[in-house]
Structure 1
Amino acid sequence: MPPEPAPSAPILCIGALNRDLIARHDGPLPAGADRPGRIEARAGGVAFNVARALAREGLAVALLAALGSDAEGAALATEAAAEGIDTAGLIRMPGRASDRYLAIEAGGRLHAAIADTATLEAAGPRILAAVGAWPAGPAALTVIDGNLPVPVLEALARAPRLGAVALVSAGDGKAARLAGFFHRPATRFHLNRTEAEALLARPLADAATAARALRDAGAHEALVTDGAATLAWAAPEGTLRRDPPPARARQATGAGDRLLASLIAALYRGADRAAALDAALAAARAHVEGETA
């Protein structure tokens, strides 16, 4: 997936838009511990996080996601529109509650998380119908979030009108859902090492090993992060490795989404792979240090 000019059609993000509930404690958090901290509620979900960051980068972006028929769904739709995202593709599901994501962070790292995406999963047929009837025609790039159910992901992997795809995992518990995108051209996998291990069902020593293994399994490109350790981006033109810049981590949720969005924005502005990766790492650092939502 070489650098491309800024798209005339919007970038399309397909996946989760939900209410994030994030609890943070500054120090270690042993199992069963009860500690003071802060709890934040905000709009979230992988597809929304990427779409918001792209909109803030000045790119045209549309979001295809599912919401409940509740007041929370109306509020989330309003928040997404306020970020400059095209929300015409938001699907309201009658009689359903909007999805939620609960994360516990300790010392700036993710301690545990649970994603309730029942409404998104129930909306699968409507999401596929919306992709087939998308009024803007083929998207310049489609970002697909691994929160979608397997039948939807497999259908999207075969959808010719999507063109180039950035495929982002939604946690190690859902990483295996992405296997249908192996051997699909113009598709870049975005995972952390733990997610890559779950997808390939074997241990992987580091990000470079994981990225090569994903390429061997059929990924056109693979960008694998590994926390503060070296990350790797394997592509037909070679593998890039980078050490993330040192950061005073204050938040973890959404860091990978921010990295992906900044990488896309840099590539669309004409940066080469190395420069785009450096820009993405700088943006991710700002996020984990608490400079961005």
Structure 2
Amino acid sequence: MTQQPDILCIGSVLWDVIGRAPSHMRVGSDVPGRITRLPGGVAMNIAMTLRRFGMRPALLSNVGRDAEGDALIAAAQGMGLVCDHLYRSDDLPTDVYMAIEGANGLIAAIADAHSLEAAGDKILRPLANGALAMPAAPWAGPVALDGNLTAELLREIATSALFGKADLRVAPASPGKAERLLALLGHPSATLYVNLEEAGLLCQTTFASSAAAAAGLIARGARRVLVTDGSNSASEATGTDIITQTPPAVMVTRVTGAGDTFMAAHIASEAQGMARDAALARACQAAATYVSGEIP
């Protein structure tokens, strides 16, 4: 029997291949470390954290009909994620993300999300064919949306009646894809989750703090934003005010997925009725716990 989800996670669902070294690294470094393969992608990372906070997320993405795709879906189902609505392509392989991290943070990363981009709006079919919703009765709950979708598809979503009643929570996936979110900047129900660099790219400037970046995005037309600046601060802004907090100080052991964890924890906290200050604090704590390595 298909489980009824309480939130949709739309975007990249793939394998993360992460190489981590305990030493500082630079371009050309060749050092000992550990290489892991884990379920990843922005939509998947958000869904996994939402599940830990008691929500029931469904994944909308492309996963290939290959051995990697079968293993990925088995892993996701084992964590309690709803995978019934994934688009499975016969000719598009399962996507993969590869990153190198050192003691000084992320050194380099490559996201191969070509299959997701090629699948296009096929991943949205469950929102139109009655499986999750239909044009006459659109999805009215929260949606976590990531910027690995093409700019064309994001523009389509921005004006689509299928998302007319949705609570859109949007992340750019990476600084290199931040400008794809311009189509959603003025959406009346969108909340943007970005880091300081991504906020600067969206506003075509640089900001000295998360609060300044949040104010800049609101001035640019955003309805609501959350901006993180690593261990320095995190700010949430609406059209009326800004709140800023300092994340807990921890020893950083990893960085890939920290922003996704922050976003998911914030969504779950608000879904559980927490006030703005409390939801922001819980999201900061969740991200700090994640980067410290305490969450497996």
User: Shorter-normalised TM-score: what interval?
Assistant: over 0.9
Hey, what does 1:47 align to over in structure 2?
43
1:93 matches 2:78: no
1:283 matches 2:279: no
Residue identity opposite 1:149 in structure 2: T
Hey, what does 1:80 align to over in structure 2?
76
How many residues are paired up?
A: 286
Tell me, yes or no, if the aligned pair for 1:128 and 1:156 is still in contact at 8 Å. no
Tell me, yes or no, if the aligned pair for 1:175 and 1:198 is still in contact at 8 Å. yes
Task: Give the 5 Å matches for 1:91-240.
Answer: 91-107=87-103, 109-137=105-133, 138-162=139-163, 163-240=166-243
Q: Structure 2, unaligned stretches of length 5 or more?
A: 134-138
Question: What's the offset of the Cα at 1:27?
Answer: 2.0
Question: What's the offset of the Cα at 1:230?
Answer: 1.6
Residue identity opposite 1:66 in structure 2: N
TM-score (norm 1): 0.94
Tell me, yes or no, if the aligned pair for 1:176 and 1:200 is still in contact at 8 Å. no
Tell me, yes or no, if the aligned pair for 1:11 and 1:139 is still in contact at 8 Å. no
Across the aligned residues of Structure 1 and Structure 2, the Cα RMSD in angstroms comes to 1.4
Output the CA distance in 1 between the equivalents of 2:157 and 2:47.
18
Q: Structure 1, unaligned stretches of length 5 or more?
A: 1-7
> Which of the pair has the greater relative contact order for Cα pairs under 8 Å at 6+ separation?
1
Question: What's the offset of the Cα at 1:108?
Answer: 5.9
Question: What's the offset of the Cα at 1:144?
Answer: 0.3
1:20 matches 2:20: no
Tell me, yes or no, if the aligned pair for 1:17 and 1:99 is still in contact at 8 Å. yes
Question: What's the offset of the Cα at 1:184?
Answer: 0.8
Tell me, yes or no, if the aligned pair for 1:108 and 1:252 is still in contact at 8 Å. no
1:262 matches 2:265: yes
Residues 9/33 of structure 1: CA separation in 2 closer, same or farther (3 Å cut): closer
**SS where residue 35 of structure 1 aligns?**
coil
Deviates more, 1:172-181 or 1:161-170: 161-170
Question: What's the offset of the Cα at 1:56?
Answer: 1.7
**SS where residue 267 of structure 2 aligns?**
helix
Taking only the aligned residue pairs, the percentage that are identical comes to 37
The correspondence for 2:274, drawn from 271, 274, 278, is 271
Hey, what does 2:251 align to over in structure 1?
248
Hey, what does 1:11 align to over in structure 2?
7
Question: What's the offset of the Cα at 1:134?
Answer: 5.0
TM-score (norm 2): 0.93
**What per-residue deviation string (whole Å, max 9, x for no partner) do you get for residues 155-206 of structure 1?**
1111233321000111111000000002111211001011112222222222
Output the CA distance in 1 between the equivalents of 2:170 and 2:279.
17
**SS where residue 199 of structure 2 aligns?**
helix
